[in-house]
């Protein structure tokens, strides 16, 4: 099994098959699409382009990334602070 995050710590926002929202996965997920999984364990469907992570991000993916020491992910042209995202999601669940 590969490590949760590569040395660079770069993650991609993606859609997961059969799941709503935006998820996180390894930056090179498209090199082996059949084996690609989100940080919460679901198969990757495609890049997330129309919905951003801040609006519809997966809490489990954010928690796994933050637990691995990644506290900021890019979301289009801006960044999402995962610690704040997690705190807000826990205090105001959808």
Over the stretch 11-56, which tens digit does the pLDDT of each residue have?
Answer: 888 999 999 999 999 888 888 888 899 999 999 998 877 778 988 9
**pTM: predicted TM-score of the whole model, two decimal places:** 0.83
Q: Are strands 23-26 and 72-75 parallel, antiparallel or unpaired?
A: unpaired
Encoding tokens for residue 34?
A: 């059949």
Element (H, E) at 61: helix 59-67
DSSP state of 50: S
CA distance 60 to 18: 16
**42-59: burial string, b at 16+ Cβ within 10 Å, e else:** bbbbeebeeeebbebbbb
């Amino acid at each position: 099994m590969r490590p949760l995050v590569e040395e660079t710590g770069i993650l991609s926002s993606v859609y997961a098959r059969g799941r709503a929202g935006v998820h996180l996965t390894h930056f090179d997920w498209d090199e082996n699409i059949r084996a690609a999984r989100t940080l919460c364990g679901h198969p990757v469907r495609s890049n997330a382009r129309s919905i951003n992570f801040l609006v519809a991000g997966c809490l489990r993916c954010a928690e796994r990334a933050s637990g691995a020491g990644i506290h900021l992910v890019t979301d289009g042209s801006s960044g999402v602070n995962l610690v704040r995202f997690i705190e807000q999601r826990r205090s105001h669940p959808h």
